[in-house]
């Protein structure tokens, strides 16, 4: 079994949204390790927040399992091009879709351009997220609270609403929630609140779309080593990130990707309305 990095991590801080290229240690998104076996052969996937971190790991895994991938991201062009390179090295097509998902028009555009390029959507992964850390309620700016909701949950509603007409029976929607949906961290109040909303949205949507044969599930990661961490947390929190888990370290993005593959595949044909934790041993009950 591969030995992944454990805390303490080097002091580091980046501006939002963060760049994977400058992280130390560099996150493992499966670039050298993920092996595909054709489980998503010829499927079309739209993944938001796929320039780096969990989204990149999912994009790489999907491509190596045989899917073509559309990648929605904000403006981290260097990271996104690197993700596209790995997708294309797997012999699959990749569409890059930069833009701010806090805007309704962008949510609709990423769906429209994916369908224009690939003809349909078989798998939708709503993964893009924003967070900031605050020690006091009074420190949270109103506009930041609204932006957190716009990106983390309202964008999911908008993208899903636009995508469903282009999804056939057997398609899969996978939403990224968080262990914060179960045990909210007080210093991530806005983020944790949206993640609880995503869990509820997923459970309700699965029932709403069941008659269409479209499955809806969510993945709840624990602490995962991604650019969002070094861009939004204090240096002290970064140094010890993930140390509180029973496994004593944060997860790497590549360790989260396999559950997305399972939920996207036809192997999960009777799995819908569920939430799957990848938490390093922290319980979710």
Judge whether 211 lies within some domain: yes
Q: Token pair 């997923």 is at which residue?
A: 202
Judge whether 244 lies within some domain: yes
Q: How far apart are CA 25 and CA 156, in angstroms?
A: 31
The catalytic residue positions are 191
127-155 pLDDT per residue, tens:
999 999 999 999 999 999 999 999 999 99
Q: What is the pLDDT of residue 129?
A: 95
Q: What are phi and psi of 252, to 5 degrees?
A: -95, 150
Q: DSSP per residue over the chain, as a string? A: ------SPPPP----TT--GGG-SSPP--STTT----STTTT-EEEEET-SSHHHHHHHHHHHHTT-EEEEEESS-HHHHHHHHHHHHHTT--EEEEES-TTSHHHHHHHHHHHHHHHS--SEEEE--------SSGGGS-HHHHHHHHIIIIIHHHHHHHHHGGG--TT-EEEEE--GGGTS--GGGHHHHHHHHHHHHHHHHHHHHHGGGT-EEEEEEE-SB--HHHHHHS-HHHHHTTTTTSTTSSPBPHHHHHHHHHHHHSGGGTT--S-EEEE-TT----
- Cβ-based neighbours of 16, under 8 Å, separated by 6 or more: 130, 132, 231, 232
Q: What are phi and psi of 135, to 5 degrees?
A: -80, -20
**Residue range 156-164: average pLDDT?**
98
Q: What is the pLDDT of residue 3?
A: 86
195-254 pLDDT per residue, tens:
999 999 999 999 999 999 999 999 999 999 998 898 888 888 899 999 999 999 999 999
Judge whether 15 lies within some domain: no
Of the candidates 1, 8, 63, 26, the one whose C-alpha atom is nearest the C-alpha of residue 238 is 8
Instruction: Using the predicted structure, report yes or no on whether residue 285 has a pLDDT greater than 90.
Output: no
11-55 pLDDT per residue, tens:
888 888 888 888 999 998 989 888 889 999 999 999 999 999 999
Judge whether 12 lies within some domain: no
Judge whether 275 lies within some domain: no
Domain of 192, CATH number, reads 3.40.50.720
Judge whether 284 lies within some domain: no
Judge whether 119 lies within some domain: yes
Residue 42 contacts residue 66 (beta carbons within 8 Å) = yes
- Return the number of other C-beta atoms located less than 10 Å from residue 89's C-beta: 13
Q: What are phi and psi of 23, to 5 degrees?
A: -80, 145
Structural domain range at position 192: 20-268
Residue 151 contacts residue 106 (beta carbons within 8 Å) = no
Q: How far apart are CA 277 and CA 25, in angstroms?
A: 24
Instruction: Using the predicted structure, report yes or no on whether residue 190 has a pLDDT greater than 90.
Output: yes
pTM of the model: 0.95
Of the candidates 55, 162, 63, the one whose C-alpha atom is nearest the C-alpha of residue 110 is 162
User: How many domains does one find in the chain?
Assistant: 1
What are the tokens at 139? 């420190």
- Return the number of other C-beta atoms located less than 10 Å from residue 276's C-beta: 19
Judge whether 50 lies within some domain: yes
């Amino acid at each position: 079994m591969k030995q992944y990095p454990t805390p303490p991590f080097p002091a580091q801080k980046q501006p939002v949204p963060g760049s994977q290229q400058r992280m130390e240690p560099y996150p493992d998104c499966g670039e050298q390790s993920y092996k595909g076996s054709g489980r998503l052969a010829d499927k079309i996937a739209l993944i938001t927040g796929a320039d780096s971190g969990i989204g990149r790991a999912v994009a790489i895994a999907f491509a190596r399992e045989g899917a073509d991938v559309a990648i929605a991201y904000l403006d981290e062009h260097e990271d996104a091009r690197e993700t596209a390179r790995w997708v294309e090295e797997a012999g699959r097509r990749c569409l890059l879709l930069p833009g701010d998902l806090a805007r309704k028009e962008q949510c609709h555009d990423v769906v429209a351009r994916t369908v224009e390029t690939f003809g349909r959507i078989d798998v939708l992964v709503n993964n893009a997220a924003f967070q900031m850390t605050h020690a006091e309620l009074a420190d949270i700016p109103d506009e930041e609270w609204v932006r957190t909701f716009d990106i983390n949950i309202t964008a999911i509603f908008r993208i899903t609403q636009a995508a469903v007409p282009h999804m056939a029976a057997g398609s899969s929607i996978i939403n990224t929630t968080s262990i914060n949906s179960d045990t909210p961290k007080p210093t991530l109040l806005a983020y944790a609140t949206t993640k609880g909303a995503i869990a509820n949205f997923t459970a309700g949507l699965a029932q709403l779309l069941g008659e269409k044969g479209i499955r809806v599930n969510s993945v709840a990661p624990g602490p995962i080593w991604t650019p969002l961490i070094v861009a939004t947390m204090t240096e002290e929190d970064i140094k010890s990130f993930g140390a509180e888990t029973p496994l004593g370290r944060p997860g790497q993005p590549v360790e989260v990707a396999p559950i997305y593959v399972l939920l996207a595949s036809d192997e999960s044909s009777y799995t819908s309305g569920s939430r799957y934790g990848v938490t390093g041993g922290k319980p979710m009950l």
